[in-house]
Amino acid sequence: MTVSTSSPEKGISVVTVNFPPVNALPVRGWFALADALRAAGRDAKTRCVVLAAEGRGFNAGVDIKEIQAGGNSALLGANSGCAEAFAAVYACEVPVVAAVQGFCLGGGIGLAGNADAIVASDDAVFGLPELDRGALGAATHLARLVPGHLMRALYYTSRTASAAELHAHGSVWRVVPRAGLRAAALELAREIAVKDGRLIRLAKAAINGVDPVDVRRAYRFEQGFTFEAALSGVAERVRDTFGTEGT
């Protein structure tokens, strides 16, 4: 279970998440990811970061079993870890290209939604099953991927949208067969990485500076309701219901 960084080409850093079986990250995984992204962005030789994952899916969110075992302290850790990882994508000093395969759920939406560009495999699906898991959050980031009314419908129903649908909305740069995902993400990163290193960093800072939504503040506001659901007992009740469905 790792977060690793490689430099396959000049100017490009690839940060890869690998937490089998479904890339549902424990608290330490979120903080490790945040650290790796910040380090990659600080490296003066890096002009673009590719955020990728091994396995069946890009990201399945937080480790629910860890939260169930650890109670409120584990929930607070997950809240802080997610906030740090999402912010590290957004605030990375250079553009971040997310390479998304399979499922991109919960925390995966926070990562992909804060990326500068997304390349997705044709089997990728995006969604927030939070209400089915006794949680809330990442509507801030889903709203960066789909129009407002669609975001609300997806959020309330816990349904997913396909990579093709997001491509039609303009939030996914390119949809490719899974076997070609890494190559397609590197192709876009390569086109970015040939730009002047100082100028691309200024461009990232400028674009973030004119963003109409303060993503970190908005997400932290959402997280307050996640913790309220936990303290009221509704989160545990919903999680227990979800865990017994189909048994």
What pLDDT, on the 0 to 100 scale, is given for residue 242?
Answer: 64
Residue 169 has pLDDT above 60, yes or no: yes
Residue 78 · residue 126 · CB < 8 Å: no
Asked which of 61-65, 158-162, 176-180, 206-210 is least confident by mean pLDDT, the reply is: 61-65
Burial of 60 by CB count in 10 Å (0-12 exposed, 13-18 middle, 19+ buried)?
A: buried
Mean pLDDT of the chain: 94
Give the model's confidence band at 133: pLDDT under 50 very low, under 70 low, under 90 confident, else very high.
Answer: confident
Burial class (CB in 10 A: 0-12, 13-18, 19+), 227: middle
pLDDT tens sequence across 217-230: 999 999 999 889 98
**Whether the model pTM is above 0.85:** yes
Cα 69 to Cα 188: distance, rounded to the nearest angstrom: 41
DSSP letters along 196-223, please?
A: -HHHHHHHHHHHHHT-SS-HHHHHHHHH
- The whole-number average pLDDT for the span 229-237 is 89
More confident residue, 240 or 59: 59
3-class state of residue 53 by DSSP: strand
**pLDDT value at 231 more than 50:** yes
Question: Residue 246's pLDDT is what?
Answer: 31
pLDDT of residue 214: 96
Closest among 105, 18, 15 to 64, alpha carbons compared: 105
The verdict on domain 2-180 having CATH code 3.90.1150.10 is no
72 vs 41 pLDDT, higher one: 41
- At residue 245 the predicted structure's pLDDT band, cuts being 50, 70 and 90, is very low
**Spatial separation of the C-alpha atoms in residues 235 and 1, rounded to whole Å:** 27
